[in-house]
Amino acid sequence: MPYADRHSPPCGACSPLSIRPSYRRRLSLDGSSLTPTSPGTDRRTFHKIASVVFGSILGLVLTIPGAAFVLSPVLKRSGSSGDSGADDGFRPIAKLSDLEEGIPRVFPILGKSTDAWVRYPEEPIGSVWVIRKGKEVTAYSAECPHLGCAVGLGPDGNSFYCPCHTSSFGFDGQAKNKIPPRGMDSLEVKLAASPSGDDPEILVKFLRFRTAVPEKTPLV
């Protein structure tokens, strides 16, 4: 057999399939393995990534309102609400005609309490002593500045008295003994015109104050 015939590849090796590059595995110039991907594979990969990204964004969007609802009560200050009063903090407690000249009366302060996610109905959150002299009205917190006990009328009916530690105060709010560190805490009062115009409404700005100190310091 001639030399060319002896070293010629068999006929099957010369088929078109024998000279096509393999689509199963190739080597790059640096020797690393490359696996060609078809356009269909690229599209499937893109769709998978897009689905994951879209699902993550959608989940985040749906989570934000729920997180805001859960955290809102925590971020807000809990305690007694001033909903029963006006925006300036004044609360209606009585009519001017409800007071007799020079005779103090005690009135409850109503408010709505909020505890985290629970909002309770309106209930007493404190009380005030109110005294009338003509059309001038004076109000004092009924919490003793000594340790916060409730102040009532004294046995003689002419003074305020705290039964916890026998603190005593005059109707002007000044301390009558050395037990309390200061006098009773006065509160802002204003009169609002009634619809009829002849019986003003008494409004009191209710605050609580730090006890056992000589200074009148509002609690925030």
pLDDT digit string (tens) for the chain, length 220 residues: 444 445 555 554 444 444 444 444 444 444 555 455 555 667 777 777 877 777 777 666 666 665 555 565 555 544 444 444 555 889 999 999 999 999 999 999 988 766 666 777 888 899 999 999 988 999 999 999 999 999 999 999 999 999 999 999 999 999 999 999 999 999 999 999 887 778 999 999 999 999 999 999 999 8
The model carries a pTM of: 0.62
Q: How far apart are CA 28 and CA 38, in angstroms?
A: 18
| Domain contains 8 | no
* Distant-in-sequence, close-in-space partners of 138: CB < 8 Å, separation ≥ 6: 130, 131, 173, 186, 189
Residue 143: inside a domain? yes
Structural domain containing residue 117:
79-205
CA–CA distance, 141 with 173 (Å, rounded to integer): 10
Tell me if 186 is assigned to some domain.
yes
The verdict on residue 87 lying in a domain is yes
Note whether residue 144 is domain-resident: yes
73 within some domain: no
The pLDDT value recorded for residue 76 is 52
Residue 46 lies in a domain: no
Q: Do 155 and 148 touch, CB atoms closer than 8 A?
A: no
**Domain for residue 192, yes or no?**
yes
Q: Which two tokens stand for residue 125?
A: 């959150």
Q: How many other C-beta atoms can be found within 10 angstroms of the C-beta atom of residue 191? A: 15
The tally of domains found in the chain comes to: 1
CATH number, domain with residue 184: 2.102.10.10
